[in-house]
Each structure stands twice: as C-alpha cells, then as structure tokens.
Structure 1
Amino acid sequence: MSITVVRRLYQYAAAFLGLQLCATGLRGLLTQLLEPLFATAAIGAASTDAFRLSLNIALLLVGLPLWALHWWLVQRAAHAHDEQHARLRRLYAYLTLGVAAIACLIGLSALLGALLGGLLWSGADTRAAGSTGALLVYGAIWLYHWRVFGTDRNEVEVTGGSATLRRWYLTVVLSISLFALALAAIGVVRELLLATQPAFGVSPGLRMRAGELLAALLLWLPHQLWWRRLPREATPLRADELRSALRQVYLGLAVTITAVAALGGLAGLLYQALLAGFGGALWSALLNDQADAIATALVAAPLWLFHRAELAAEA
C-alpha cells in the first residue's frame, strides 16, 4: 500500500468520523432547543439537561474542527486528476450519503407519523424534537455532499470501482426504503380493512402508518427514478450501467421476495377460507383474523408486478 493511499485513507476516515461527531452534537443541540416546543410535558430534570448540553457541545467542538480540517485537505487535493478519481473519495461520498439518507428516513418517518397522528402539538411526544433535529442536520449533510460529488459524476463514475460504489449506494438505499415503504403500506391497508369493522373503527395508527408510508415514498421515489434513468439516458454512465450484474441481482431479489410475500398472504387467506368452509371458523371472523395476510398480498402483488416489469425491460 503506497503512502498516497494511506494518506487518503486517514484523511477521509478522519473527515467521516468528524462529520458524524459534528452531526450527532448538532442534532442533540437542535433537539434540546426544540423540545420546549414539541414536548412541553416531557422536559427532563435540570441535571439531565446540563449533561446532554455538555455532551452535545463537546461532540460539536471536537467533530467540527476534525471534519473541517480534513475536508479542506481532501478538497484542496481533489483538483489533481488522481485524487479526483480516487475510489476512497467516492467511498467517503456514498457512505456519507447513505448514512444521511437513512437518518433522514428515520427522522421524517417519526415526524410525519407524529404530525398525521395528532401527536406533534400534544406536548407529550418526545420523538418529534429529535426527529426534526435529525432531519435538519442530516438533510443538510445529504444535500451538500450530493451537490459536491454530483458535479463530476459523469466524469469520475463512468466505470470501475467508483461506478460500483454508486450502484451499491443506490441498491442499499432502495432496498431499505422499499422495505420501509412496504411495511408502512401493509400497515395502512390493514388499518383500513379493520376500520370497516364496527368493533374497530378508524384508529390513530392509520394516520401514523400513513406518515411512515409518505416518508418512505419520499426517499424511495427519487432514488428509484434516478436508478431507472441511469441505463436509459444517453450519458457517459449508461454503458456501464447496462452491464451491471448488481442491478439484475437487486431486481431478481425484489421479484422473488415480493412474490413469496404475495403468495404467503394468499395462502393464509385461502387457509382461513377453507377452515370457515369446513365449519372450523366463522366467516365473520375472516377479515379480522386475516387482515395482515390480505394486506400483505394487496401490497406485495403490485410491487411484484412493478419489479417484474423493470426486470423484463432490462433483460
């Protein structure tokens, strides 16, 4: 391993560590500032607040200079061709973007769930302040790094390791956001099915699941559109994307998992129907007992059709 690679490894690792420390401290400070607004009924003791404030300030004071110094060093060196095309630079970029994207998903999901569930202004929701702080901090981190590394993407990520790192970022973010979207959609459909029963009615859980569904959709859809455009648009990235095995693996797994989920839901529904037909259960209990199975089948089937069409289009 050459001294140049060692230097890059140190600088990007230090920049990444400093950024995460800085983000954690800043998120904590924003959370404390927002708590009196969102969680007036859950403010902690003065000693606890002092401990949190001290910890967050310490993280910020350590992380910010650590990131700023090493980020300045790597950005100054990036004017050279070898530095600009270094795989470690893209590894830092997509690792940072991935962490920020998932943090935004978690924060936005909790925030929209609290908002639609009627908990945001109740004064008793302790998650809203933290979710808002995380969304503001990691959203800014994601936007900044996306803009910085997007300027030379068509030049640097044409082929090789940099292109592979981009695909791994997309695959991981798409997988996590699609999983979150599917779970939230199943929850929404289940709550809607149960709401048709007089004994249940519309529950606050329906609005919370709807918030989680919207959050997952806001992360999944832009990444899905970008992922879909890469092999279709006439850009320098197109040729390498068309040869990507990872794209086929992702689509194949998505088709398989959604098919298994849909068939599993249908099997559960068929079992309950046959049981009722043979007198082993009540027909009136079919919807209540199999709400999860029905919801799973109703969500998984369209997802299977969508990914099956995507796989056929790229075959």
Structure 2
Amino acid sequence: MTTTLDKPVKEPTFRRTSAKRRFVNSTATVLVTLAVLIALIPLVWVLFSVVSRGLDPLLDPDWWQKSQNLMTNRTEGGGAYHAIIGTLFQGLLCAIISVPIGLFVAIYLVEYSNGSRLGKVTTFMVDILTGVPSIVAALFIYSLWITTFGFPRSGFAVSLALVLLMIPVVVRSAEEMLRIVPQDLREASYALGVPKWKTIARVVVPTALSGIVTGIMLALARVMGETAPLLVLVGYTKTVNFDLFDGEMASLPGMMVDQRSGSVVGLADERLWGAALTLILLVAVLNIFAKLVSKFFSPKSV
C-alpha cells in the first residue's frame, strides 16, 4: 500500500524572468551606479583640491608647533598651533556638555516616553533645533550670555552655541540606534530580574554603542567646522589662548576666515588651504578614535 508520503516530490518549476523585468532591473542598476559615480565626483574633487593645495604647510614642523603671532599674510613662517588648540578646546567642551544631554534625551524618548505629551513636545523641539542655522544659535547665545548676563566674549560662549547645534544631531542618531536594538534583549534581561535602568545601561546602550558613537562623531564634525558662532561670540587672535572663559580664541575656521580676509596670495593662500586640510585630518582622527572605542566597548560575540 502506497501513501502520499511515498510519492516522489516534483521539483518546483520556475518561470523565466520576463524580458521587461530584466530590462527594468538592469536600468535601475545602471541608474543607481551612475548616481553613485556622480555623487563621488564632487567629493573626490574637493578632497583632491584641499590635499593638493594644503599639504605643503602641514609638512613643515612649525605648522604644528608655532602660532601666527607677529605674522602677516606676506610673512614667511608661523603655523596653526593656536588654531588647533582653540578648535580642540571648543569642540571638547561642546561634546562634554552635548553628549550626556543628547544621550539621556534619546533614552527617555525610546524607553520612557511611551507616546506621552512630554515625549511629543521633546521630539517636536528636537526637530526644530535640527534646522536652526548656526548664526541664529550664535545670536541667541550673544543676547543671553553676553548682553543679558554680561559675560565677556569667549570660547565658552562659542561652545554654548555649538551645543545648540550638536544636541539635536546626537539625540536623533542615538534615538535611531536605540530603537533598532531587539526587544528580545530587553525582555530577556527583565526575565532575569534586572531592573530597567540597569538593562538600559548594561544591555541596550552597549548594543547600540557603535552607532551612537558614529552619530556623535558626525555631530562633532559638523560643529567643529562652524564659523558664525566664532565671528559673533569670540573673534580671532593669532596668539595661543588656553582660557576658554576670557579673551579672543583662535580656531581653524577662524584662521581660514582671517587668511581669506587679507590678501590671498602666496603664503596666505597656502595657510588657508592648510587650515582646511588640518580640520579634515582632525575630524578623521576623531572618527578613527571613536571607531576603536566603540569596537572595544561593544558586546563581544562568543
């Protein structure tokens, strides 16, 4: 007696893809590839222009060790030490303030808001801040910090303006990374009796750490290149200033503006492009460091 289980199973038959579908697929592939190549053209062009025009100053040891004090656009010598220090100090202070606030806001929106009115208002305000121009943030800090409270123009005021620009980017990137963490990980932790705050700190955040760090670096790269807050809130000096709370402070974007405002010939032109390349290198180094940190602290596969 034979059963249905004894009958041979027929191999599934597939119809050949129609010529129309193959044509559409090939066309889409060509269009996507062409779009990528078109997008790469200006990126490669910009990178080539900056490297070719700004590499020579960076090869001089004085570029990393000396400031532009007592130098003019036509004077040989000098470096970008004062601008590098200012950019790092302002960016570091901005990150110290922005990262905890942005991360905690993102954790609240993902883990605690549950569609509450406060969560909706917070999301709406973050969306608004995301599109605020840098000059508006600079003018707000100027009217509040300098005009109302009477504090002097300083690098700290610049960092406060940069905070307004960095927080929404950190919130948005961290929020997206936290949302893609599988819910099963949270439920498994709750099943073991782990409290919610410890689950977030020991399971959720480490799982999403790589993406969070990447978002933070993108936000920091954005604010490090801003110019409007520098011009409004601190000005530019050719000397080294380590005090974030008093006096004018140099920065790489400010150095580019200073070199551009003079006679852009000869050495001034080289220093302008050199400052641009230095800023790109600083951002690249920060990104590499962030990748290493996120890889070290991310969960290890067994």
What TM-score results when the alignment is normalised by the length of structure 2?
Answer: 0.26
Q: Of the two, which has the highest radius of gyration? A: 2
Greater relative contact order (CA < 8 Å, ≥ 6 in sequence)? 2
What TM-score results when the alignment is normalised by the length of structure 1?
Answer: 0.25
Higher helix share: 1
